[in-house]
Amino acid sequence: MKKENELAIKVTKEIVVKFIEAGRLSVSSFQEAWHDIHQTISHSMKETKTED
């Protein structure tokens, strides 16, 4: 697995855990939220990489 992918997964995990702890995310909406957050993180990382 590429280092960028691994980092995106770790960041996504941290965000999802915080949302669950704060009561902003339920287990029933986990799959959709994970996908949306991971996609956003990955997209942001690609934009940042191209700007450097």
Q: What is the pLDDT of residues 10-30, one digit of tens each?
A: 999 999 999 999 999 998 999
Q: What is the pTM of this model?
A: 0.82
User: Which stretches of 1-52 are assigned E, i.e. beta strand?
Assistant: none
Q: Is the pLDDT of residue 42 over 70?
A: yes
Give the Cα-Cα-Cα angle 40, 51, 19 (nearest 5 degrees): 25
pLDDT at residue number 19: 95
pLDDT at residue number 52: 65
Mean pLDDT within 27-51: 90
CA 52 – CA 47 distance, rounded (Å): 9
